[in-house]
């Protein structure tokens, strides 16, 4: 066999899959392609913290870009978002026997009792006066032994955010504020920072992105 | 450089050293001295493990450090978390710890943890301990940790990975009669805690990468089972 035949053999095992991305991720990839790397790395961290062998709900899943990572080791995955076209893209690209999607404004709604509730890049878009409703929704969708993972850009990084981000981010959190809200709802709260693709526990005001993991709900 | 200016800088430096001179000297015993001389990088990652634990535990907490040795990590926990107690059955090491760290935020005791009265600590940590406990005794050790935790207390355990042992020097492997692969540590922790989060360490970096390529394992258990 020559090199071409070897390579053809490899390509032959890949199948004929096609995915057409939606508006949101097409925009991101055209304007800031590195974004995909760090967004996926945040999902990888979520998956390591709370998806293996668990049922997972993602509140604010958009086009389901995190679905393959979150569902890889999960028993099932349910993505919810109020953006209709984004959910349509998610369904076309990622719906399968393990993963389902629902178009809905999740605030105040219950979709089941999940082991893990994940919400990345969502809370900064929710008005401060609805923070309580957001966390009650998280709790309502959680089983007795559930955990919650919320990630959001650090308020200390907002000066460096893109104009598009700055318009949408109406309720940015500091690490301390996010952790103190978590403590209202969970006995145990772990706080992490993420810069680029690296998760750490370093000096929180210099973290670009903040993640809280809550378990043992009150 | 002008003489006057040099003297000014010198006096500034002496302001610094005057403050430093008020501290008692810290003494390393045989364990930390060996580490500093023979495996100095180990000093850095040993401290990074304690720092990671301190960050997860948070401030205003009471922490029990099992197998504290000379207490350097216990002292880090005390400073970062608020209060820490170190126990170890090596009297010599505990003596060094007590001599070095005299502060209301920290205390040390020569004791066998398994024989101590239960408590209600916010966190129980132990690094480089469980690999020295016979596999059949590890379950009792984890249960005993649970007995020492408040209902919302957390447990943090660090131990070298099974995969790393073939690269470890003999002195590091000595006495390691119960080396864990990540899956076994996670499974045993889950028998005692509702929630278990697994991390991996390479050098000073603690993350969630594949345990196959990890030098060190850290398990965090929350919400103890009864």
Residue A157 has pLDDT above 60, yes or no: yes
Q: Which residue has the higher pLDDT, A23 or A149?
A: A149
Does A49 reach chain B within 8 Å, measured CB to CB?
yes
Over residues B155-194, the pLDDT tens digits come to 999 999 999 988 887 877 888 899 999 999 999 999 999 9
Q: How confident is the model at residue B40 (pLDDT cuts 50, 70, 90)?
A: confident
What structural domains does chain A harbor? 33-217 (3.40.50.150)
Q: Shortest CB distance from A188 goes to which of B51, B198, B222?
A: B222
Q: How confident is the model at residue B16 (pLDDT cuts 50, 70, 90)?
A: confident
Q: Shortest CB distance from A215 goes to which of B51, B208, B223?
A: B223
**DSSP 3-state assignment of A163?**
helix
CB pairs under 8 A between A and B: 44
Closest CA to A151 of A191, A114, A98: A191
**Structural tokens at position B59:** 């401030």
Residue B4 has pLDDT above 70, yes or no: no
**DSSP 3-state assignment of B206?**
strand
Beta pairing class for A99-103 and A76-81: parallel
Please judge whether A44 and B56 are an interchain contact, meaning their C-beta atoms are less than 8 angstroms apart. no
Quick one: average pLDDT of B199-206?
A: 92
Q: Where are the alpha helices (DSSP H) in B131-213?
A: 135-147, 170-173, 182-190
Q: How confident is the model at residue B2 (pLDDT cuts 50, 70, 90)?
A: low
Quick one: average pLDDT of B114-140?
A: 95
**Cβ atoms of residues A59 and A106 within 8 Å:** yes
Over residues A57-67, the pLDDT tens digits come to 999 999 999 99
Q: First-to-last CA distance in chain A?
A: 64
Please judge whether B223 and A187 are an interchain contact, meaning their C-beta atoms are less than 8 angstroms apart. yes
Q: How much of chain A is helix, strand and coil, in % rounded to 5?
A: 45, 25, 30
Q: How confident is the model at residue A152 (pLDDT cuts 50, 70, 90)?
A: very high
Please judge whether B223 and A201 are an interchain contact, meaning their C-beta atoms are less than 8 angstroms apart. no
Quick one: average pLDDT of A142-163?
A: 93
Looking at the predicted complex, does its ipTM rise above 0.90?
Answer: no
Closest CA to A192 of B55, B211, B53, B45: B55
């Amino acid at each position: 066999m020559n090199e071409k035949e070897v390579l053809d053999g490899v390509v032959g095992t890949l199948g004929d899959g096609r995915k057409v991305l939606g508006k949101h991720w097409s925009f991101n990839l055209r304007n800031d392609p590195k974004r995909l790397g760090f967004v996926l790395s945040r999902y990888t961290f979520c998956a390591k913290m709370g998806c293996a062998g668990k049922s997972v709900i993602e509140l604010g899943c958009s086009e389901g870009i995190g679905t393959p990572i979150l569902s890889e080791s999960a028993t099932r995955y349910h993505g919810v978002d109020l953006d209709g076209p984004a959910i349509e893209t998610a369904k076309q690209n990622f719906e399968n026997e393990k993963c389902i999607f629902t178009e809905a404004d999740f605030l105040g709604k219950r979709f089941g009792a999940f082991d893990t509730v994940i919400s990345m890049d969502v809370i900064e878009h929710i008005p401060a006066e609805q923070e309580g409703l957001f966390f009650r929704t998280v709790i309502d969708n959680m089983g007795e032994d559930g955990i919650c993972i919320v990630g959001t850009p650090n308020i200390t990084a907002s000066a460096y955010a893109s104009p598009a981000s700055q318009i949408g981010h109406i309720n940015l959190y500091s690490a301390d504020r996010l952790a103190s809200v978590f403590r209202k709802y969970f006995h145990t709260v772990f706080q992490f920072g993420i810069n680029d693709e690296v998760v750490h526990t370093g000096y929180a005001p210099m973290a670009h992105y903040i993640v809280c993991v809550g378990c043992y709900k009150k | 450089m002008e003489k006057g200016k040099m003297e000014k800088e010198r006096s500034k430096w002496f302001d610094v050293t005057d403050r430093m001179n008020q501290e008692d000297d810290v003494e390393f015993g045989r364990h930390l001295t060996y580490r500093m001389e023979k495996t100095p990088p180990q000093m850095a990652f040993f401290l990074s493990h304690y720092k990671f634990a301190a960050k997860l535990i948070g401030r205003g907490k009471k922490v029990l450090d099992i197998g504290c040795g000379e207490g350097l990590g216990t002292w880090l926990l005390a400073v970062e978390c608020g209060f820490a107690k170190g126990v170890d059955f090596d009297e010599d090491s505990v003596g060094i710890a007590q001599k070095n760290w005299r502060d209301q935020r920290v205390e040390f005791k020569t004791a066998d943890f398994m024989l101590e009265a239960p408590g209600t600590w916010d966190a129980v940590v132990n690094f480089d301990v469980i690999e020295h406990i016979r596999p059949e005794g590890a379950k009792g050790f984890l249960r005993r940790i649970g007995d020492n935790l408040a209902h919302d207390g957390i447990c943090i355990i660090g131990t070298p990975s099974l995969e790393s042992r073939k690269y470890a020097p003999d002195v590091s492997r000595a006495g390691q009669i119960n080396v864990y692969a990540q899956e076994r540590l996670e499974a045993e922790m889950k028998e005692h805690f509702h929630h278990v989060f697994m991390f991996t360490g390479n050098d000073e970096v603690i993350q969630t990468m594949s345990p196959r390529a990890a030098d060190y394992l850290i398990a965090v258990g929350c919400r103890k089972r009864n």
